[in-house]
C-alpha cells in the first residue's frame, strides 16, 4: 500500500512549477540521455540513467537478489490493468516501451508491495483478491479536506512463482497485512499489520512462521526495510501526540483510513530494540532505504515545500546529520532503492512524462558517496 500515496498526489504534481535550473556543467562521463533525464545538480550522484516504464503509475520497484530483475507494481491500462498489479522486468534487456512485462499477480483485486525471495524464482506480495475480483474503491475526496489513504482490511500476504501461481498464504489474521519486504540475508520478512488494532511492524520467517511484533507506539508504522546486513530496520512512522491528533488518528483508523502527511523516519535493531528517530523535518518523510554502506539513508520528502509538493530524494546519516538533497525535479521523486551490489539506484518519478500524470521507473548508476 505504499504506492497509494503516489496515486492521490499525482494531480497536484502535474500542475507543479518547472524544475529548478543550475549552472552546473555536465561531466563528460555522462551519457547523452543524462542531459535529458537528469537535472545538472543530480549528476553529482547519478549517471547513465535509463527510463524503464512509459505510462501509467509505476512504483515500488525492488531488485532481485542477483540484481538482474525488478519486480514492481503498475496500474498502466495499456497492460490490461484496472488497478495496481505486479510485474517483473529484466531492466537491462527488456523494452517496455514496445513490449508489456510479464504480469505475475492474479489480475484480481488490488496488489502491492512485491519483493523477490531468495533464488529469484519466487516473490512475496500483498493482494485483496480473496475478498473479490474487483479493485477495492479509492476513498472519495473528504468534505473536511483531509488527505487520507485507505487501509484495506482485505490485504493479505502471499508467495508466488514467476508464472503467477500462488504458493502460500503467509498471513490470515483479520485486518490489513501488507508492506512486506525481505532481508538481504534471505531469512526474514518485515511487514505492517493491523492485528492489534494499530498499524504496527512485525517480522516473520520467509515461510510465515515465528511472527514477532517490532513496534508498539501509537501511530502508523510502515514501509520498513532491512539494512544490507539484515541487522537493522528503517521505516516511516506517524506519532500523534496531542489529544486532538490522537483522536483524529483513531477515528480515521476506524474508517479504515490513515493520514500519511506527517511522518518521520526511525531506525531500530531488527528485533525492535534500540529505536532511534532519525528525522524531525516535518511534513511527509517516507520511502526510506539504506545506503549500501549501512550508515546512511536515502528517502523521499516534501519538507522544503509549502504546498505539499514537489517530493525529492534526500540522504541522511543514521545519527541525523549530513542531510543532503539528491534530486531536484519539480514534481515527484520517490521509492529510491539501491541494488544489492550498490551500483544502481531505481526510483519512481514524474519526470519526462510529457505533461501527463504518469509516474515511471528509472534506473541510474550511483556515483555518490
Phi/psi at 35 (5° precision): -70, -20
DSSP β-ladder status, 296-301 and 324-325: unpaired
**Euclidean distance between the first and the last CA atom of the chain, given in angstroms as a whole number:** 31
Identify whether the C-beta of residue 154 lies closer than 8 Å to the C-beta of residue 131.
Answer: yes
Cell of residue 148, nine digits: 487520507
pLDDT in tens, the chain (369 residues): 544 444 444 333 222 333 333 333 344 478 888 999 999 999 999 999 999 999 999 999 999 999 999 999 999 999 999 999 999 999 999 999 999 999 999 999 999 999 999 999 999 999 999 999 999 999 888 888 888 999 999 999 999 999 999 999 999 999 999 999 999 999 999 999 999 999 999 999 999 999 999 999 999 999 999 999 999 999 999 999 999 999 999 999 999 999 999 999 999 999 999 999 999 999 999 999 999 999 999 999 999 998 888 999 999 999 999 999 999 999 999 999 999 999 999 999 999 999 999 999 999 999 998
CATH number reported for the structural domain that contains residue 348 in this entry: 2.120.10.30
- Whole-number Å distance between alpha carbons of 190 and 85: 21
Cα–Cα nearest to 13, from 363, 348, 362: 348
**Which pLDDT value is given to residue 10?**
34
Cell of residue 276, nine digits: 532511534
Say how many domains are in the chain: 1
Range of the domain at 149: 4-366
Cα–Cα nearest to 339, from 62, 105, 148, 136: 62
Which residues, 6 or more positions from 14, have their beta carbon under 8 angstroms from its beta carbon? 331, 350, 355, 356, 357
- Cis before 310 (ω within 30): yes
Whole-angstrom Cα Rg for the chain: 19
pTM of the model: 0.92
SS3 string of the chain?
Answer: CCCHHHHHHHHHHHCCCCCCCCCCCCCCCCCHHHHHHCCHHHHHCEEEEEECCCCCEEEEEEECCCCCEEEEEECCHHHCCCCCEEEEEECCCCCCCCCCCEECCCCCCCEEEEEECHHHCEEEEEECHHHCCCCCCCCCCCCCCCCCEECCCCCEEEEEECCCCEEEECCCCCCCEEEEEECCCCCEEEEEECCCCCCEEEEEECCCCCCEECCCCCCCEEEEEECCCCCEEEEEECCCCCHHHHHHHHHHHHCCEECCCCEEEEEEECCCCCCEECCCCCCEEEEEEECCCCCEEEEEECCCCCCCCCEEEEEEECCCCCCEECCCCCCEEEEEEECCCCCEEEEEECCCCCCCCCEEEEEEEECCC
Instruction: Please return the burial class of 164, using the count of CB atoms within 10 Å of its CB with bins 0-12, 13-18 and 19+.
Output: middle
Identify whether the C-beta of residue 265 lies closer than 8 Å to the C-beta of residue 285.
Answer: yes
Phi/psi at 356 (5° precision): -85, -175
Phi/psi at 74 (5° precision): -150, 150
Amino acid at each position: 500500500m505504499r504506492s497509494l500515496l503516489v496515486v492521490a498526489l499525482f494531480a497536484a504534481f502535474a500542475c507543479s512549477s518547472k524544475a529548478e535550473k543550475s549552472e552546473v556543467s555536465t561531466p563528460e562521463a555522462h551519457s547523452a540521455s543524462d542531459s535529458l533525464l537528469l537535472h545538472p545538480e543530480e549528476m553529482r550522484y547519478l549517471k547513465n540513467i535509463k527510463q524503464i516504464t512509459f505510462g501509467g503509475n509505476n512504483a515500488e520497484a525492488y531488485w532481485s537478489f542477483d540484481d538482474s530483475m525488478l519486480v514492481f507494481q503498475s496500474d498502466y491500462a495499456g497492460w490490461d490493468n484496472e488497478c495496481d498489479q505486479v510485474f517483473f522486468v529484466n531492466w537491462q534487456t527488456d523494452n517496455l516501451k514496445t513490449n508489456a512485462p510479464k504480469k505475475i499477480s492474479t489480475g484480481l483485486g488490488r496488489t502491492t508491495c512485491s519483493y523477490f525471495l531468495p533464488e529469484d524464482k519466487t516473490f512475496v506480495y500483498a493482494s485483496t483478491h480473496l475478498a473479490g475480483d474487483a479493485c477495492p474503491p479509492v476513498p472519495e475526496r473528504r468534505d473536511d479536506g483531509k488527505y487520507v489513504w485507505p487501509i484495506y482490511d482485505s490485504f493479505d500476504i502471499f508467495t508466488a512463482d514467476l508464472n503467477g501461481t500462488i504458493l502460500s498464504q503467509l498471513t490470515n489474521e483479520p485486518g490489513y497485512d501488507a508492506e512486506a519486504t525481505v532481508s538481504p540475508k534471505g531469512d526474514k520478512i518485515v511487514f505492517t499489520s493491523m492485528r492489534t488494532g494499530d498499524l504496527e511492524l512485525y517480522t516473520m520467517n520467509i515461510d510465515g512462521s515465528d511472527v514477532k511484533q517490532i513496534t508498539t507506539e501509537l501511530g502508523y508504522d510502515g514501509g520498513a526495510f532491512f539494512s544490507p546486513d539484515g541487522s537493522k530496520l528503517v521505516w516511516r512512522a506517524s506519532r500523534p501526540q496531542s489529544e486532538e491528533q490522537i483522536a483524529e488518528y483513531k477515528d480515521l483508523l476506524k474508517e479504515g483510513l490513515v493520514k500519511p502527511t506527517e511522518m518521520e523516519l526511525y531506525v531500530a535493531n531488527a528485533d525492535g530494540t534500540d529505536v532511534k528517530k532519525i528525522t524531525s523535518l516535518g511534513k511527509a518523510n517516507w520511502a526510506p532505504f539504506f545506503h549500501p554502506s549501512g550508515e546512511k539513508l536515502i528517502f523521499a520528502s516534501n519538507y522544503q515545500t509549502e504546498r505539499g509538493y514537489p517530493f525529492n530524494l534526500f540522504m541522511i546519516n543514521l545519527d541525523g546529520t549530513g542531510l543532503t538533497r539528491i534530486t531536484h525535479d519539480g514534481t515527484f521523486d520517490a521509492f529510491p532503492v539501491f541494488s544489492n551490489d550498490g551500483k544502481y539506484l531505481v526510483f519512481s518519478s514524474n519526470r519526462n512524462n510529457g505533461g501527463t500524470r504518469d509516474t515511471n521507473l528509472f534506473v541510474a548508476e550511483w556515483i555518490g558517496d
